[in-house]
């Protein structure tokens, strides 16, 4: 990954969302690998309003938050947060997010059933209530 990436374009200031997302993709991928490479992560989801194209209103999407921070256990790895979006709360979304994760998954009682289903279906992490 380059040491410095400029997201400003002299002709269009700032650049479009799609171009910005493409420039940030390597950083997001690196964060995902770092967070899911830990031995324990905390996961939660939050409802977010999303514009529904052509309907003139919003719908509810989900922002999944995956946190790696084992500093209290003496781990020197950098803490990090990786966010992933899904258009709904179906268990298939966290299953896809966590398919490469091997470790302990900590979640609240509301998210746990979807995350538990995700980890069992993908033989990934072990849920920790």
- Give pLDDT tens digits for 74-122: 889 999 999 999 999 888 899 999 999 999 999 887 655 556 554 544 4
Going by pLDDT thresholds of 50, 70 and 90, the confidence category of residue 56 is confident
pTM (2 d.p.): 0.73
85: CB partners within 8 A, 6+ apart? 48, 61, 62, 63, 64
């Amino acid at each position: 990954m380059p040491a410095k990436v400029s997201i400003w374009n002299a002709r269009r200031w700032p650049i479009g969302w799609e171009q910005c997302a493409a420039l940030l993709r390597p950083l997001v991928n690196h964060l995902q690998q770092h967070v899911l490479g830990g031995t324990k992560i905390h996961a939660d989801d939050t409802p977010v309003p999303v514009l529904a194209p052509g309907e003139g209103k919003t719908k509810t999407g989900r922002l999944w938050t995956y946190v790696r921070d084992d500093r209290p256990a003496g781990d020197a790895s950098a803490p990090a947060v990786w966010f992933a979006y899904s258009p709904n709360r179906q268990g298939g979304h966290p299953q896809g997010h966590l398919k490469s994760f091997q470790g302990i998954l900590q979640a609240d009682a509301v998210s746990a059933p979807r995350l538990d289903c995700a980890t069992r279906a993908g033989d990934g992490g072990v849920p920790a209530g």
